[in-house]
Amino acid sequence: MGIREVGDSVVIMGPTAVGKSDVAVLVAERLGGEIVSADSMQIYRGLDIGAAKPSAELRARVPHRMIDVADPDEDYSVARYRRAAGEAIADVFARSGVPVIVGGTGLYLHSLIYDMDFGGAKPDGGARAAYERLASERGAEHVHGLLARRAPEAAAKIHPNNVKRVIRALERVSANDAGESAADVSGAYKPFGFSLRGGGLIDPALFLLTRERADLVRRIGERVDAMMRAGLVEETERLAKRGLTTKHLAMLGIGYKETLGYLNGEYGLEEAIELIKIHTRRYAKRQTTWFKRYEDARVVDLTATSESEAAAEIVARVQPEFDLD
164 and 311 part of one domain: no
155 and 282 part of one domain: no
Residue 126: per-residue pLDDT: 55
- Any residues with CB less than 8 A from the CB of 234 and at least 6 apart, and which? none
Is residue 166 a part of any domain in this protein?
A: yes
Yes or no: say if 197 and 3 are a contact pair by the CB < 8 Å rule. no
Calpha distance 157→141 (Å, rounded) = 14
- Any residues with CB less than 8 A from the CB of 29 and at least 6 apart, and which? 61, 62
CATH at 162: 1.10.20.140
Domain limit, last residue, from 193, 218, 244: 193
Structural domains of the chain, count:
2
CATH at 20: 3.40.50.300
153 and 292 part of one domain: no
Is residue 274 a part of any domain in this protein?
A: yes
Per-residue H/E/C for 65-91: ECCCCECCCCCCCHHHHHHHHHHHHHH
> What digits encode the pLDDT tens for the residues 96-115?
889 999 999 988 998 898 87
98 and 132 part of one domain: no
Residue 268: count of CB within 10 angstroms of its CB: 10
> What digits encode the pLDDT tens for the residues 6-17?
358 999 999 999
**300 has which bridge partners?**
209
Q: Which of 145-154, 187-196, 198-207, 288-297 has the highest mean pLDDT?
A: 288-297
Confidence class of residue 89 from pLDDT cuts 50, 70 and 90? very high
15 and 143 part of one domain: no
Segment (H or E) for 35? strand 34-37
21 and 139 part of one domain: no
| Of 131-140, 220-229, 264-273, the least confident | 131-140
- Does residue 261 register a pLDDT over 60? yes
Closest CA to 52 of 186, 169, 220: 220
104 and 23 part of one domain: yes
276 and 137 part of one domain: no
Domain limit, last residue, from 141, 160, 193: 193
Calpha distance 6→320 (Å, rounded) = 9
- Does residue 182 register a pLDDT over 50? no
In 95-122, which residue ranges form alpha helices assigned H by DSSP? Answer: 106-113
Residue 221: per-residue pLDDT: 98
Pairing of strands 115-117, 195-197: antiparallel
211 and 294 part of one domain: yes
Residue 308: count of CB within 10 angstroms of its CB: 11
Residue 75: per-residue pLDDT: 81
Is residue 20 a part of any domain in this protein?
A: yes
Domain that holds residue 86: 9-114+198-322
- Does residue 189 register a pLDDT over 80? no
170 and 91 part of one domain: no
296 and 205 part of one domain: yes
> What digits encode the pLDDT tens for the residues 200-211?
888 899 999 999
Calpha distance 144→167 (Å, rounded) = 8
Q: Is the pTM of this model over 0.85?
A: no
Yes or no: say if 317 and 310 are a contact pair by the CB < 8 Å rule. no
51 and 173 part of one domain: no
**205 has which bridge partners?**
10
Residue 8: count of CB within 10 angstroms of its CB: 21
Calpha distance 100→64 (Å, rounded) = 9
